[in-house]
Structure formats: C-alpha cells, structure tokens
Amino acid sequence: MIIAPTPQGIAEACRLLREGQVIGMPTETVYGLAADAYQDNAVARIFEIKNRPTFNPLIIHVASSDDVEKFVEVPLKAQALMEAFWPGPLTLVLKRDKNCPISLLASGGLDTLAVRCPAHPIAGRLIREYGRPLAAPSANKSTGISPTSASDVELALGNIVPLILDGGRCEIGLESTILDLSEDNPILLRPGSILMESLNAIVGPVYSLKKDHGEQISVKAPGMMHRHYAPHRPLRLNASNCREGEALLGFGDAGSLPVTLNLSEMGNLVEAAANLFQMLRQLDKDSYKSIAVMPIPMEGLGIAINDRLQRAAALEEFLDPTLHGGDHDNNSH
Ligand code: TXA
Ligand code: MG
C-alpha cells in the first residue's frame, strides 16, 4: 500500500522495519527496498523478494556521515568525499569495522560495506527516526527496471511489500555512483550522476573497472567469486553423512545426523540465508578439518544459497590464476 510520508506514515514504516519487514522507500536516485540492516532475517527477505539468484551485496543507507564510523573504516579520501557530496547520490565501498553490527549477508559475505547517505528528505527522516541504518537495493525484481515513483514500486511489488512511502517522483532517476575506497586506489564501480571529474577534483585519480588498472581491478567487480567469502577449510556439499573431523552444517530435519550447526531446523530458506555467512564463519575453525553442508532445496532463496555454496566450494577451480595475486590475503576475516 502506498502511504503518505506523514508522521503517522513514518511511524508505521518504523514499526514494520522493527518487525523485520521490508518496505518501499523513496530516495533521490530510485526507490529502494529497505530493511533493518542489523537484522539478518530482514536482509534475507530483501533477497527473497527481489528474487536475486545470488547474494549481491547491498547498499547501507545512513542519516549522516557521523553514523558510518561505527560500521566502516573511514580513510581521509572518504571523509573528503562525504563532506563534498553527502547527502547525495554517492555510495562509498569501505572496509567493514571489526565490530560492525551490520548483517554479513548485506555485505554478501565480503569484508567491505557500501554506505550511502540519501539526499531525499523522506529517506533522511525515516532513517533518523528509525535510529538504525537501512539496507536497500533498488525496489525492483532482479531483472526489472529500477522504480522512480511509488506507483512503479506498487506495480512491481505491491502484493509483497506491506508499505511504500510516497516520496513523489525521484529527482535523479538513476542509481548512485559507486566508488570503492576500501584500498588505496579509488575505483569507480558504477557510474552515476556524480561524475568522474567531480570525484577527481576531490581525491585525484580514480580508476575505472575496465582498463586503467588491468587485472588488479577486475577482481574488485562485485559478484566475482573470489572476492566473496569462502571458508579456509574445504567445503563438501549435499552431504548425507558426517565424516571424521568434519563440521556438519545442517538444514531442516537432520534425523540422527550429528549436525554442528543448523541453518534452519524448520527448513525455512529465509532463516537459512540469514544464518549462512555467520555459520560458515563459526565452523571455519581449527577444530575442524572441513565443512560438510546438507542439501538445500533449489527453490526460492535456496537458489541463491546454493549459488554461494557452490562458489565457495569450488573456489580454487573458479580462480583465474592471472587474477589470483594475493587476493585471499585482503579477504581475511
Ligand atoms: O541509488 C542507489 O544506489 C539505489 C538507492 C535505492 O539507494 N540503490 C541501488 O542498490 O542501486 P542496488 O542493490 O540495486 O545496487 C547496489 C550495487 C550492486 O551492484 C552491488 O554489487 C554494489 O552496489 N555493492 C554493494 N555493496 C558492495 C560492496 N561491498 N562491494 C562492491 N560492490 C558493492
Ligand atoms: Mg538495482
């Protein structure tokens, strides 16, 4: 349902967010599908609603630059860019702080986090009033077009999301510029309305994903498997038993199998997605030789869960040796 952004409308949006629900939120770029960034289950719902076949990381929306220091390491260049362009359509990818309370699923298992402070007054009011950052991808199904009005969101997702805050037509209508500042060289991951020249003026040279920097840069592309989290221990999928020295990650009713942790005893895929990265990390310990995972059904969110597991299990095979160069080191967790 489309709701006017009155104080009551915002209060209702906050109530739903607290419950772990996902709502439509206006921003100056496109409408977002917003959830409480601290709640794994709420973040997992986003992936379910979008029908994303993989856990592409999400942008975390904050009310001001003061908020981000709790979540990420902020180098000087990032500081300068925030001063120049926030609030506004610039997303910065930064290293997660060790104690970052934001869902690992929102990072897609990476050790970085994309943060953005939207300029739309209603987004700002909602995030401030809610008091926590919101994870939000564009509010469309995976293959759809980004929505630029509340009615676009209603058409695409009206029967799934309980509330869409009406913020009128998006002024910009094009997703934010994304700049990776998690390492020394700034890298443009997605062009947007904040142009390269404007970034150059503040931080000097900015590399683009494709040419400037060759193979080093291509490993930064989101979705590239070896930037994603994979345990150090071998991973065995579709396990129907538990071998010696193995940790067994269960799903659903495990019968008499000695599961170490269970992604979801009820066999709930949203819960399993929410637990996936957290539990893989918990099992990636010296006390185990390897990790076995029980079968996850290939339906709904199970497709994304299996995609992640297969990439993690087959990690070395997937790697192009020319791209390998020490990437595992900066992927340390
Ligand atoms: O304008 C926008 O940015 C809109 C509004 C709603 O804020 N949001 C948006 O989100 O476009 P989404 O999910 O449709 O696109 C986010 C992009 C994805 O391509 C994702 O791979 C990238 O940001 N991304 C997110 N976190 C990342 C990370 N830690 N490292 C690299 N890329 C990241
Ligand atoms: Mg999108």
Residue 97 DSSP one-character state: P
- pLDDT lower than 70: segments of the chain: 210-229, 315-333
pLDDT at 184: 86
Q: Is the dihedral of CA 14, 126, 90, 113 positive or negative?
A: negative
Tell me the CA–centroid distance for residue 245 and ligand 1, in Å: 39
Helix or strand holding residue 164 (H, E): strand 164-165
Say which ligand is closest to the CA of 192: 1
pTM value is: 0.84
pLDDT digits 0-9 by tens, 186-223: 999 988 889 899 999 999 999 987 544 444 444 444 44
Spans of all domains in the chain: 2-208, 235-313
| Helical spans, DSSP H, in the chain | 7-18, 40-50, 76-85, 121-130, 150-157, 196-203, 215-218, 269-283, 301-313, 315-318, 321-324, 327-330
d(CA 137, ligand 2 centre) in Å: 6
**Spacing, Cα 138 to ligand 2 middle (Å):** 4
Indicate the fold that domain 2-208 takes in CATH. DHBP synthase (3.90.870)
H or E segment to which residue 292 belongs: strand 290-293
Residue 217 pLDDT: 43
Residue range 276-325, pLDDT digits in tens: 888 988 898 889 999 999 999 998 889 888 988 887 787 544 444 333 33
pLDDT of residue 31: 97
For residue 311, the model assigns a pLDDT of 77
Alpha-carbon distance 72 to 220, whole Å?
18
Map tokens 């659903």 to a residue.
252
